[in-house]
Amino acid sequence: MADPRTTAVSRKDPSTFLPKLIFSSRWLQLPLYLGLIVAQCVYVFLFVKELVHLVSDAPGMTEQMIMLLVLGLIDVVMISNLLVMVIVGGYETFVSRLRLENHPDQPEWLSHVNASVLKVKLAMAIIGISSIHLLKTFIEAGAMESGLPLCGTVEALAAAQQAAEFAAANAGMVATKICTTATAAGVLWQTIIHCVFILSAIGIAWTDKLMHPAKPAKAAAH
């Protein structure tokens, strides 16, 4: 039986208080994850706003404009998925257990999530988001061949004024693009950055594989 005096001394021992304090500091990350939940609410508002804009203005849009808006909606959804992954996975890994073992809606990947798995999944999500942005840029790049001015320039402002006058004089006409945001250098750099993202994800996955080698088939079966 333990001596009560020894137990009381061990409780007052500062060498045990400091590790507990350091370990409890993980709860300082809680406001960060709550802030990401607020950011996700903002993205939900943005999605609804863009969806209303798409539905209300669809009769006056071209196919290319509708495609760009739909890609924008997909981009918002993928960023929202990334936020969920960071919030749920990060809280489970660095703060506290969620204890969702018997919950019917528990994510499949949450049962074996750790810092390495979370990094790989985040890298893949970033590649998906970058792919959407790159596809939007490629669609915009088609406007460079049509001679459209660059948005924000004097030529673009003049074209916008002419388009407004034409729309006022011809109500119900189909809206068309009057400027483009794509440049040859911008398309090139965005493609390079996307390739860097892919190489980074491959490097993260390869490093994780080296740090956690797969067990032999016989040992795993045993």
Q: Which pTM was predicted?
A: 0.68
- Give domain status of residue 63, yes or no: yes
Question: Angle 84-32-93 (CA atoms, 0-180°, nearest 5)?
Answer: 60
- Give domain status of residue 218, yes or no: no
Q: For residue 43, what pLDDT is reported? A: 93
- Give domain status of residue 9, yes or no: no
pLDDT tens-digit readout, 60-114: 777 878 888 898 899 999 999 889 888 988 888 888 888 777 777 777 767 667 7
149 contacts 155 by C-beta, under 8 angstroms: yes
- Nearest CA to 135 out of 70, 53, 54 is that of 70
- Give domain status of residue 180, yes or no: yes
pLDDT by 10s per residue, the chain, length 222 = 455 555 554 555 666 788 888 888 889 999 999 999 999 999 999 999 999 989 988 887 778 788 888 988 999 999 998 898 889 888 888 888 887 777 777 777 676 677 777 788 888 888 988 888 888 888 777 665 555 656 656 555 665 566 555 555 555 454 556 666 667 777 888 899 999 999 998 988 888 788 767 655 444 454
* Alpha-helix runs per DSSP H in 58-175: 63-94, 115-141, 154-169
Buried b (16+ CB within 10 A) or exposed e, 71-110: ebeebbebbbebbebbbbbbbbbeeeeeeeeeeeeeeeeb
Q: Whole domain around residue 30: which residue ranges?
A: 15-104+111-213
Indicate the number of domains in the chain. Answer: 1
